[in-house]
Chains A and B, each alone.
Chain A
Amino acid sequence: MNFNLTKEQELVRKLAREFTVNEVAPIAAEIDEQGRFPMETIEKASKIGLMGMPFPEEYGGQNSDYISYIMAIEELSKGCGSTGVIVQTHCALCAWPIFTYGTEEQKQKYLPNLLSGKHIGAFGLTEPNAGSDAAGLQTKAVDMGDHWLLNGSKIFISNAAVADTFVIMAMTDKSKGTRGITAFIVEKGMEGFSVPKKESKMGICGSVTSELLFENVKLPKENMLGQLGKGFKIAMSSLDVGRLGIAAQALGIAQGAFDETVEYLKSRKQFGRQLYKFQGLSFEMADMKTRIDAARLLLYRAADLRQKGLPSTTEAAQAKLFCSETAMHVTTKAVQFHGGYGYIKDYPVERMMRDAKITEIYEGTSEVMKMVISGSVFK
């Protein structure tokens, strides 16, 4: 067992931390308030390689390990939860399935643009009647001989409004349930494909979330990703990677709120002394620090297993469950400890608490995580 970071990991953390302090945190409140995708930040992040980290250089990736990648998402999310999830959605849910299941032609066609950040990626599984229950998908792809005909819609799709490349799950054989789902690559601008509605959300407002609409979209045959009927497996394995990213996002939000609260408790005086000198508060901070560290260890373990190519579905679910619940706990306490100031937008903990909530919901709710974990207990 080795708890030391490698030199590379230490430097990636340093890089991501500097980038966050200089480029991400200063506009976090602004993009939240405006509900604006931070394109300028993503362009800068692309230049230093943050949009293509855990992928090989031959496709334009940065050749990094998963722990470095996770740490970068964590650092970004300390300053801005929206920016963290933009990068993670792009990497884990679009670039990763293309890299893992794509043909050589598909990899050559899509990955260099995605990994260099020239193109932004999105992923579409969720539909109005198919959330945690993927078998209820109604989006259909019909084999027309020389092309696929795609019809249906998706909701709650992160990055959709700005994305160029989409990995989309569609039913190709309803009678087979989840075994009738197939993955496809859909490109922005294809005839019949539109992104009609932007959602108005509680948090992560800088990560623009939209509806997708497919009306007789003619997909070339070569846009099928992986094998026919294997879409559910592709989606689930992508979400395994995605859960590491969401756990990292949650952990970053928790750490960011914790750091803000430490500063506040040191500077704020009531009853003639600084707030941290009240043991009721300092003991709660001790408890929060311990939870955050436990969350981090669970997450790094899961990322380490993935790096080694070992099974990590349960561990990723545990990390996602615990990191997201820690984020909710810590940000709620952070707002409480800031008192009235915590509830107004002058302090970032207000935004952090709103941003934290979604981490318990998307890419598998806490309840779905418990299904995954308990499934491994009662095999």
Chain B
Amino acid sequence: MAMKIIVCVKQVPDTNEIKIDPVRNTLVREGVPSILNHDDSNALEEALKIKDSNPDTHITVLTMGPPQAKELLVECLAKGADEAVLLSDRALGGSDTWATSNALSAGVRKLGDFDIIFAGRQAIDGDTAQVGPQMAEKLDIPQVTYVTDFDIADDKKSVTVKRALEDGYEEIKLQMPCLLTAIKDLNAPRYMSVNGIFKSVNKEITVWNAADLGVTESQVGLDASPTKVFKSFTPAVKGKGIVVVGDTDNELARQLLSDMKHKQII
């Protein structure tokens, strides 16, 4: 039986030093290149791995965002996803995690049956890690967050996952359909392929607005969002440390010297 997988992704600004509009308390996105959120690329990769071993698997990538989020969806298709859906509407703008999960859950219901929803643990621009778990609650399916290892049962009815904790792991078996949130350790995301690019650029991307989703002003958008941003600020930048690697003391010292020379410290 062909499996159906939905991967929830988000387009995020590619910067560690996010600029904030001091008046609106929202992120300034102009002039900042956008990328696929890191954890979401792990979510997509896990779905693609299932498709590698079960070629009849159907992967739908789902995102909510402005029209330019289509660019990100094309990249997901070029990596091997089958279908892409964009939820885009002015009425969805300003949604917090609660409102976002309302919209995405409505999108999932409209897509119909599915076996697994993969999402990234959290987005680098908001760091809330709430949307995935909220969706699972709203769709009334089991969920596991921080998935670092994944195995699907032969009967394709359940999955066994390893959940990362601060000081160890949990191994959890759960029935499908389910929702899993991926972390970086789960896998190494693949690149697009040239052929994938040429096949995906002109592929049609489904766009649904609030009316298509059947969601109302009380469920989505800025006014419906219970979270109000009180203050946004850029944390002080801390220099990134480096780890010198090498097998012998000599090698370590040589590497350290070369790095210091490179940075013109010595």
A and B interact:
yes
Residues of A within 8 A of B (CB): 6-8, 11-12, 14-15, 18-19, 47-50, 53, 57, 62-64, 68, 72, 267-269, 341, 346-347
- Would you call the interface of chain B mostly helix, strand, loop, or mixed? helix
Q: By CB atoms of chain A within 10 A, which of B191, B201, B258, B262 has the most?
A: B191
| Chain B hits for A68, CB < 8 A | 194
**Residues A49 and B195 in contact, CB atoms below 8 Å apart:** yes
Q: Nearest B residue to A61 by beta-carbon distance?
A: B195
**Residues B195 and A50 in contact, CB atoms below 8 Å apart:** no
> Which residue from A18, A53, A347 sits with its C-beta under 8 Å from B194?
A53
**Residues A268 and B201 in contact, CB atoms below 8 Å apart:** no
- How many chain B residues sit at the interface, stated as a range, is 10 to 19
| Chain B hits for A7, CB < 8 A | 74, 201
Given contacts A19-B191, A48-B191, contact A12 B197 (CB under 8 A): yes
**Residues A346 and B193 in contact, CB atoms below 8 Å apart:** no
> Which of B164-212 touch A at CB < 8 Å?
190-198, 201
B237 to chain A, nearest CB (A): 17
Does any Cβ of A come within 8 Å of B53's Cβ?
Answer: no
**Residues B195 and A346 in contact, CB atoms below 8 Å apart:** no
> Which residue from B197, B258, B262 sits with its C-beta under 8 Å from A15?
B197
Q: Nearest B residue to A267 by beta-carbon distance?
A: B264
Q: Nearest B residue to A22 by beta-carbon distance?
A: B191
| Chain A hits for B194, CB < 8 A | 12, 15, 48-50, 53, 62, 64, 68, 72
**Residues A15 and B192 in contact, CB atoms below 8 Å apart:** yes
- 15 A-B pairs within 8 Å (CB atoms) are namely A7-B74, A7-B201, A12-B197, A14-B192, A15-B192, A15-B194, A48-B193, A49-B196, A57-B195, A63-B195, A64-B194, A64-B198, A72-B194, A267-B264, A341-B261
Give A48 to B198 CA distance when docked, in angstroms. Answer: 12
**Residues A11 and B193 in contact, CB atoms below 8 Å apart:** no
| Chain A hits for B201, CB < 8 A | 6-8, 11
Give A184 to B166 CA distance when docked, in angstroms. Answer: 63
Residues of B within 8 A of A (CB): 74-75, 78, 190-198, 201, 258, 261-264
| Chain B hits for A14, CB < 8 A | 192
Give A15 to B200 CA distance when docked, in angstroms. Answer: 14
**Residues B264 and A11 in contact, CB atoms below 8 Å apart:** no
Give A63 to B202 CA distance when docked, in angstroms. Answer: 14
Give A64 to B195 CA distance when docked, in angstroms. Answer: 7
Give A57 to B191 CA distance when docked, in angstroms. Answer: 19
**Residues A18 and B198 in contact, CB atoms below 8 Å apart:** no
Give A39 to B234 CA distance when docked, in angstroms. Answer: 44
B49 to chain A, nearest CB (A): 14
Given contacts A8-B197, A15-B197, contact A346 B192 (CB under 8 A): no
A129 to chain B, nearest CB (A): 40
| Chain B hits for A47, CB < 8 A | 190-191, 193
| Chain B hits for A346, CB < 8 A | 258, 261-262
> Which residue from B190, B198, B262 sits with its C-beta under 8 Å from A8?
B198
